[in-house]
Amino acid sequence: MKLPGGNRRLILTLGGAAVGMFAFAFLLAPLYEVFCELTGIDSARLSQASEPAAPADAAEIDQNRVVKVEFLAHTPNPAAWEFEPGDLSIEVTPGRTAETRFLARNLVARNVISVTRPSVRPVEAVSHVSKQVCFCFEEQPFAAGEQRELAVRFTIDPDLPAHVDTVTLAYTLFTAQPG
Amino acid sequence: MSDSTHAAEHHDGPHAKGLWRWLTTTNHKDIGTLYLVFSLVMFLVGGAMALIIRSELFQPGLQLVDPHFFNQMTTMHALVMIFGALMPAFVGLANWQIPLMVGAPDMALPRMNNWSFWILPPAFLLLIATLFMPGGAPAGGWTLYPPLILQTGEAFPFVVFSLHLLGASSILGAINIIVTITNMRAPGMGFMKMPMFVWTWLITAYLLIGAMPVLAGAITMLLTDRYFGTTFFLAAGGGDPVMFQHIFWFFGHPEVYILILPAFGIISQIIPTFSRKPLFGYTSMVVATSAIAFLSYVVWAHHMFTTGMPQAGMLFFMISTMFIAVPTGVKIFNWLATLWRGSISFETPMLFALAFVILFTIGGFSGLMLALVPADIQYHDTYFVVAHFHYVLVPGAIFSVIAAVYYWLPKWTGHRYDETLGKWHFWLSTIFVNVLFFPQHFLGLASMPRRIPDYSVQFTEFNMISSIGAFGFGLSQLLFVWVLVKCVRGGAKASAKVWDEPNGLEWTVPSPAPYHTFETPPKV
């Protein structure tokens, strides 16, 4: 079938646009991460060890400032896991290192590996939390029925905006994907 | 010379007869009819699902269906109504009317047109078949949010493939419409002389090409997450389920305008005819439609205010959303100005068009309320949202389709429909649609959640009223089917012009419109 030249060009352009938009949907996945990084809501860095930001001037740190840090623990599979924070909340002075523990128990009768995803709220606190030790940095193997304490050591940077008086560290524990 | 004898031989009708004619047809009028009949059937199927939902909700407690089946009904009702009833209805109207309105002999790509339609029935067989599969039909809502939707049973890949087919059909249809409008207008019909229905469809077709492939991408990612070990949306593997919501609504919000822009076009055809005045503010209508289409791509996250978003993000999406009220307001005021000092008569299409203007505006205002972040956090996932989008889609989009059918039916069949029954249909529909959806505003403001089969007793009365309205509205549509059947079978002979002062090329051909029209282009 022979199409008029104008039609053929237009069909190819429009078809190409449709294919391009299909590809664009997949491109949105990496773009999403880039966007989160640029806007400082990048939670990927919460899964890696980082040193606390060097205080601009140690003398300027308010040693009396206290920030309440709350801990949340979730698991989408409560039949397979018991997962709770050791402390519901602690008080932390920005600039000083703090530590807490979470309790996790494998409820199934075989060895499994857990993986935990961290999150911090409010969003503007995300870039002011640095973790030196966290069970969320790597997968944790559990023997059948094993119960364990999992440690987090972290620092809230002194340049946390002054109006933020509560920071929530939340962890979601999954059974690692098979394979 | 040989050309004209060739044309004369074919002039009166289709080559083939019976089922084969409909399977093989490349005639835009045949395909338009197929689309419209298909969408009417789907409208009744989706309506039956809605009546199951409203029966269960007639009183608190679980009476008729189990909660899992209830959830399948809410999901399937939405998918059937959006992809089966509304979109094919608009494409059917486009097929019938666009060539007639721009003075073209047919659509630009007739064979592809046949394909666009015949993809639909198998796609819907796939979708409806999921009801009978182990684990049932999808029950996670039409928005298909992971991780919930990934728990669908065996039906999951069928849902995804069915949506892929529906998307492909829409994209092919959209390409066809754009090529027809761009390249096949009658000599003298510049872009700014096109009827508004043609304009709104041109813009809608571009929205379809921009949005449908994104949905296809999102559901493909769901498919690979479930079967091929990817973790686009699985938090355990480093993915993010909220990202699905972003991608989905990047499609979903333009989709909302795909469902309403052609309606704006229809109303802009009908109101001038029955006001016996030209449309007020034609240029501003075109600009407003384009502005709405553009804005529809930058407002998607207003569906997700409760997912936790930086304040700057919420502000941006709130303001851009409220900005849509400006071009939409321009349209409403243009319609009012068209009516102003017009010589108005109230035939059935005009009644539906006027009800559209009023009731769609109610839906628009509740949309503005939902755009406000602090208010939305309260209204989110309540019946207020259900009331809002049903106001814009039922007395909005569906009324416009009904109005269009009454308006052009005499041109298609050559008979006048029964005006008395048409008016009965209008009044019953309009009264019951308000009985059905208006109380849902109150339910939502009192915080009744959506997508639940049971509710607290304090919501009982409004739910009962709403369910009565649902049955009234549903049964009134059987009257519509009867009016259609009666009009196709016979009735008073319609003239070529049909109405007093209609404007446009479609009224220059005889009624019923001959099988082949505008084989020589008309002069505009």
Q: Is B41 in the A-facing interface, judged by CB distances under 8 Å?
A: no
**In tens digits, what is the pLDDT along chain A, a chain of 179 residues?**
556 778 899 999 999 999 999 999 999 989 988 887 777 666 667 777 777 766 556 666 677 889 999 999 999 889 999 999 999 999 999 888 899 999 999 999 889 999 998 988 888 888 888 888 899 888 899 999 999 999 999 999 888 888 999 999 999 999 885 53
pLDDT tens per residue, range B171-230: 999 999 999 999 999 999 999 999 999 999 999 999 999 999 999 999 999 999 999 989
Residues of A in contact with B178 (CB under 8 A): 10, 14
In a domain, residue A118? The reply is yes
Residue A4 amino acid letter:
P
| Residues from A in contact with B at Cβ < 8 Å | 1, 4, 6-7, 10-11, 14-15, 17-26, 28-29, 32, 39, 41, 76, 115, 117, 121, 123-124, 172, 174-177, 179
- The single-letter DSSP state of residue B341 is T
Assigned token pair, B76: 């399937």
Decide if B186 contacts B523 (C-beta within 8 A).
yes
Regarding whether A25 and A95 lie in a shared domain, the answer is no
Regarding whether A115 and A78 lie in a shared domain, the answer is yes
Regarding whether A165 and A128 lie in a shared domain, the answer is yes
Assigned token pair, B194: 């096109």
Regarding whether A96 and A26 lie in a shared domain, the answer is no
Regarding whether A138 and A71 lie in a shared domain, the answer is yes
Domain count, chain A: 2
In a domain, residue A103? The reply is yes
**In tens digits, what is the pLDDT along chain B, a chain of 524 residues?**
344 444 444 456 777 888 999 999 999 999 999 999 999 999 999 999 999 999 999 999 999 999 999 999 999 999 999 999 999 999 999 999 999 999 999 999 999 999 999 999 999 999 999 999 999 999 999 999 999 999 999 999 999 999 999 999 999 999 999 999 999 999 999 999 999 999 999 999 999 999 999 999 999 999 999 999 899 998 888 888 999 999 999 999 999 999 999 999 999 999 999 999 999 999 999 999 999 999 999 999 999 999 888 888 899 999 999 999 999 999 999 999 999 999 999 999 999 999 999 999 999 999 999 999 999 999 999 999 999 999 999 999 999 999 999 999 999 999 999 999 999 999 999 999 999 999 999 999 999 999 999 999 999 999 999 999 999 999 999 999 999 999 999 999 999 999 998 999 999 999 999 999 999 999 88
Strands (DSSP E) contained in B33-159 are none
Q: Report the b/e string of B381-391 with b at 16+ CB within 10 A.
A: ebbbbbbbbbb
Strands (DSSP E) contained in B40-112 are none
Tell how many helices (H) and how many strands (E) occur in chain A. Answer: 1, 9
Helix B110-129 vs helix B156-183: crossing angle, to nearest 10:
160
Nearest to A6 among B183, B231, B237 (CB): B183
Hey, of A1, A28, A117, A173, which one would you mutate to test binding to chain B, going by the most B CBs within 10 A of its CB? A28
How many whole angstroms separate alpha carbon B419 and alpha carbon B483? 9
> 10 Å Cβ neighbour count for B187?
9
In a domain, residue A2? The reply is no
Regarding whether A164 and A125 lie in a shared domain, the answer is yes
pLDDT tens per residue, range B266-298: 999 999 999 999 999 999 999 999 999 999 999
CATH classification of the domain holding A114: 2.60.370.10
Q: B residues 136-155 near A, CB within 8 Å?
A: 147
Q: Report the b/e string of B396-435 with b at 16+ CB within 10 A.
A: bbbbbbbbbbbbbbbbbbbbbbbeebbebbbebbbebbbb
Regarding whether A108 and A169 lie in a shared domain, the answer is yes
Question: Any idea of the CA torsion for A34, A38, A42, A44, to the nearest 10 degrees?
Answer: 50
Regarding whether A83 and A33 lie in a shared domain, the answer is no
Nearest to B214 among A11, A25, A123 (CB): A25
In a domain, residue A57? The reply is no
Regarding whether A96 and A28 lie in a shared domain, the answer is no
B193 Rama sector, left if φ>0, alpha if ψ -120 to 50, beta otherwise: alpha
Question: Any idea of the CA torsion for B495, B497, B499, B501, to the nearest 10 degrees?
Answer: -150
In a domain, residue A95? The reply is yes
How many whole angstroms separate alpha carbon B246 and alpha carbon B224? 18
Regarding whether A110 and A30 lie in a shared domain, the answer is no
> 10 Å Cβ neighbour count for B62?
11
Regarding whether A99 and A156 lie in a shared domain, the answer is yes
Residues of A in contact with B238 (CB under 8 A): 117
In a domain, residue A1? The reply is no
Strand order in the sheet with A166-175: A89-92, A67-74, A166-175, A112-121, A140-142
Does B231 sit within 8 Å of A22, measured CB to CB?
no
Assigned token pair, B447: 């915080």
In a domain, residue A101? The reply is yes
Helix B399-413 vs helix B261-275: crossing angle, to nearest 10:
60
In a domain, residue A58? The reply is no
pLDDT tens per residue, range B429-461: 999 999 999 999 999 999 999 999 999 999 999
Q: What angle do CA B33, B258, B451 make, to 5 degrees?
A: 100
Surface-to-core class of residue B125, CB atoms within 10 Å of its CB (0-12 exposed, 13-18 middle, 19+ buried)? exposed
Regarding whether A156 and A108 lie in a shared domain, the answer is yes
How many whole angstroms separate alpha carbon A68 and alpha carbon B478? 63
Range of the domain at A33: 8-39
Surface-to-core class of residue A60, CB atoms within 10 Å of its CB (0-12 exposed, 13-18 middle, 19+ buried)? exposed
